[in-house]
C-alpha cells in the first residue's frame, strides 16, 4: 500500500467470522502527498506556536520539497533483480550508506534552493543557499556522504539542512517506485526496510483496516513500516519501556523511553488527534525532546532538520 491512497481491503487471517485483519507490513510513500501533508500541517501548527517563525521556515522548506518532487523526472527506478538480491540478503535495497546516488538528487537540490528563497527567509539562510549554489558536484556529493554517514562538521549544519531536504526528495521518489510485494521487514526492525535509516517518529493509527497499529516513519525515504507496540525501537527491549508526555498535553504526542538502552522515540496517537503528521508534529513538539533529554534519555533518531 502507498501513503496517500485508500487502504485496500485486507484478507481475513483464520476464521472469517472471528479472525483479525493483518496490517500492511510496509507502506510505500506517495512523494507529492507526503511533502504536501507536511507543509499543510506545519502551517496549522505554526499558528500561535512559540516557535512560529521557525515552523514557518520549515513549512517553506517542505513546499520547496514538493516543488522539487514535481520537477524531478530523471530518477531511474531500482531494477527488480537488484531489489530481490538485497532482500534475500536481509539488506535494504536503497541502503543509504551504500546506494550509488544518481545525479538527479542534485537536480532536486537545485530546484529546492530555487523555491526556498524569498524575503521571509533569514539572511543567514540565504547566505547558506548561495554557498551551496557555488559548490561543484564533487563537493555536494561529499557533503551528502557525510550527512548520510553521520559525520557532518559543525560549520556544515546549515548547508546540511538543504542537502538533507533534497536527499529526502530523492530517496522518497525512489522508494515510491519499489515493488512493495518484494520487500521485507529487516532483522533490525527499528530500521527502514527500504533504505536502512532510522525512523523520525512513530504513529499509532486510529482508522483504516487495523486501527491501533503502530507504524514507524523513515526519516529519509518516508516509508512506513509496522513495529510492535510497547517495544523499544532501538534495542527491542519490552520490560523497561514507558511512555512520557508533557503535563497538560492532549495525549497525542508522547516519548517512548527505554531504561535498557537509555534511548527514546517520539510517538503520535491518532486517537487523540487524527491530524497528526509525523514529520511536522515532530518539529512542533521539541519541548518534549528537551524535557526527556534533561531526564537522561537520548533520542534514538535525530530529526535531520533539527541539526541546524
Residues 106-123: pLDDT tens digits? 999 999 999 997 777 889
pLDDT band at 7 (very low <50, low <70, confident <90, very high): very low
What would the mean pLDDT of 300-306 be, rounded to a whole number? 85
Residue 13 in any domain: the answer is no
Q: Are 160 and 267 in a shared domain?
A: no
* Percent share of the chain, pLDDT over 70: 93
**Mean predicted lDDT score pLDDT of the chain:** 91
Q: Are 129 and 190 in a shared domain?
A: no
State how many domains the chain has.
Answer: 2
Residue 56 in any domain: the answer is yes
From 176, 198, 226, the end of a domain falls on: 176
Residue 273 in any domain: the answer is yes
Residue 137 in any domain: the answer is yes
Q: Are 127 and 198 in a shared domain?
A: no
Residues 211-242: pLDDT tens digits? 999 999 999 999 999 999 999 999 999 999 99
From 176, 200, 233, the end of a domain falls on: 176
Residue 55 in any domain: the answer is yes
What is the spatial distance between Cα 130 and Cα 122, in angstroms, rounded to a whole number?
Answer: 13
Predicted local distance difference test score (pLDDT) of residue 20: 64
Joined grid coordinates for residue 231: 517495544
Q: Are 247 and 297 in a shared domain?
A: yes
C-alpha distances (whole Å) from 234 to each of 237, 269, 285 are: 8, 20, 21
Residues 61-93: pLDDT tens digits? 999 999 999 888 889 999 999 999 999 999 999
Domain boundaries, position 283: 185-306
Q: Are 202 and 164 in a shared domain?
A: no
Identify the bridge partners of residue 40 per DSSP, sorted by sequence position.
Answer: none
pLDDT band at 5 (very low <50, low <70, confident <90, very high): very low
CATH code at position 298: 3.90.1670.10
Does position 12 have pLDDT exceeding 60, yes or no?
no
Residue 69 in any domain: the answer is yes
What is the spatial distance between Cα 152 and Cα 159, in angstroms, rounded to a whole number?
Answer: 10
Predicted local distance difference test score (pLDDT) of residue 83: 97
Kindly give the pairing relationship between strand 263-269 and strand 253-258: antiparallel
Q: Are 169 and 297 in a shared domain?
A: no
What would the mean pLDDT of 293-298 be, rounded to a whole number? 96
Q: Are 83 and 166 in a shared domain?
A: yes
Q: Are 123 and 211 in a shared domain?
A: no
Q: Are 171 and 193 in a shared domain?
A: no
Predicted local distance difference test score (pLDDT) of residue 292: 96
Q: Are 203 and 249 in a shared domain?
A: yes
Q: Are 148 and 234 in a shared domain?
A: no
C-alpha distances (whole Å) from 71 to each of 22, 134, 218, 221, 246 are: 37, 21, 23, 17, 41
> Considering the entire predicted model, what is its pTM?
0.92
Residue 105 in any domain: the answer is yes
Q: Are 142 and 259 in a shared domain?
A: no
Does position 279 have pLDDT exceeding 90, yes or no?
yes
Residue 18 in any domain: the answer is no
* Percent share of the chain, pLDDT over 90: 82
Does position 3 have pLDDT exceeding 80, yes or no?
no
From 159, 176, 193, the end of a domain falls on: 176
What would the mean pLDDT of 249-267 be, rounded to a whole number? 96
More confident residue, 11 or 255: 255
What is the spatial distance between Cα 215 and Cα 270, in angstroms, rounded to a whole number?
Answer: 12
Identify the bridge partners of residue 243 per DSSP, sorted by sequence position.
Answer: 256
Amino acid at each position: 500500500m502507498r501513503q496517500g491512497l485508500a487502504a485496500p481491503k485486507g484478507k481475513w487471517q483464520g476464521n472469517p467470522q472471528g479472525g483479525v485483519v493483518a496490517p500492511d507490513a510496509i507502506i510505500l510513500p506517495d512523494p507529492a502527498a507526503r511533502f504536501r501533508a507536511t507543509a499543510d500541517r506545519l502551517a496549522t501548527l505554526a499558528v500561535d506556536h512559540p516557535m512560529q517563525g521557525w515552523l514557518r521556515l520549515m513549512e517553506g522548506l517542505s513546499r520547496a520539497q514538493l516543488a522539487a518532487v514535481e520537477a524531478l523526472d530523471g530518477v531511474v527506478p531500482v531494477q527488480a533483480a537488484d531489489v530481490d538480491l538485497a532482500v534475500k540478503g536481509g539488506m535494504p535495497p536503497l541502503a543509504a550508506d551504500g546506494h550509488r546516488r544518481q545525479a538527479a538528487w542534485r537536480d532536486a537540490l537545485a530546484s529546492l534552493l530555487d523555491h526556498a528563497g524569498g524575503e521571509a527567509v533569514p539572511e543567514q539562510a540565504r547566505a547558506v543557499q548561495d554557498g551551496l549554489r557555488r559548490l561543484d558536484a564533487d563537493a555536494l556529493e561529499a557533503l551528502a556522504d557525510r550527512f548520510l554517514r553521520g559525520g557532518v562538521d559543525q560549520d556544515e549544519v546549515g548547508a546540511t539542512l538543504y542537502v538533507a531536504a533534497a536527499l529526502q526528495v530523492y530517496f522518497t521518489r525512489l522508494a515510491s517506485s519499489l515493488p512493495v510485494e518484494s520487500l521485507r521487514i529487516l532483522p533490525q526492525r527499528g530500521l527502514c526496510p527500504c533504505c536502512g535509516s532510522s525512523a523520525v517518529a512513530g504513529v499509532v493509527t486510529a482508522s483504516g483496516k487495523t486501527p491501533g497499529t503502530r507504524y514507524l516513519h523513515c526519516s529519509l525515504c518516508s516509508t512506513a513500516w509496522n513495529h510492535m507496540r510497547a517495544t523499544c525501537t532501538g534495542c527491542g527491549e519490552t520490560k523497561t519501556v514507558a511512555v512520557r508526555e508533557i503535563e497538560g498535553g492532549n495525549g497525542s504526542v508522547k516519548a517512548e523511553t527505554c531504561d535498557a538502552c537509555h534511548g527514546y522515540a517520539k510517538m503520535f496517537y491518532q486517537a487523540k488527534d487524527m491530524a497528526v503528521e509525523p514529520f511536522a508534529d515532530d518539529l512542533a513538539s521539541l519541548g518534549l525532546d528537551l524535557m526527556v533529554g534533561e531526564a537522561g534519555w537520548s533520542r534514538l533518531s535525530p530529526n535531520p532538520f533539527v541539526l541546524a
